[in-house]
Chains A and B, each alone.
Chain A
Amino acid sequence: EVQLVESGGGLVKPGGSLRLSCAASGFTFSSYSMNWVRQAPGKGLEWVSSISSSSSYIYYADSVKGRFTISRDNAKNSLYLQMNSLRAEDTAVYYCARDLKYQLLPDWDYWGQGTLVTVSS
């Protein structure tokens, strides 16, 4: 059974940093590109970042470019999101999601349960 489990969310002050993790199991993690997608409270979905299976191709939404860094460790079946210079508008539930087919197509077939990041003083 495919499972994605996020961790690392919490309360952080504006300007602070946080590192999210996503532990994958039940599939060959190293064969799939992965994504972070977020959802602000009461709002819609927003794609944040994508990383290819071998980390060769990495993309970011303009809203987080220069502040967030996506990475993965295929030996540990894990995906990460390092978030720096956090702003109030980064407050959201962050999901990791697996690509069904190709990078940059918004068809994600498996999602984690999400981890809440709250940026507030």
Chain B
Amino acid sequence: DAGVTQSPTHLIKTRGQHVTLRCSPISGHKSVSWYQQVLGQGPQFIFQYYEKEERGRGNFPDRFSARQFPNYSSELNVNALLLGDSALYLCASSRGASGSPSYNEQFFGPGTRLTVL
């Protein structure tokens, strides 16, 4: 079975531009979460979606938004890019969003490396 896939792999944008990152979860997984990882730090939670509804949001500005589609894939959108948005963006999928730990175990994709110039 395919794991979590993300596209694109790398992306270079300039300040003020907009970016859309995409994620396809593992087959059968209904929850997708997004994380931002700045160099040298652990990932920071951005959003979680389950069954197309937002289940959680981290401490990120409104420039960050996301959505989940009927096939459970997801997009992360970032508007008005800043230099500080340069990071590895990670997507994780899980079967569910609550309940037993095995149901919630998150599996990560390879990430999208975003560079803002």
Partners in one complex: no
Chain A residues proximal to chain B, CB less than 8 Å: none
Chain B residues proximal to chain A, CB less than 8 Å: none
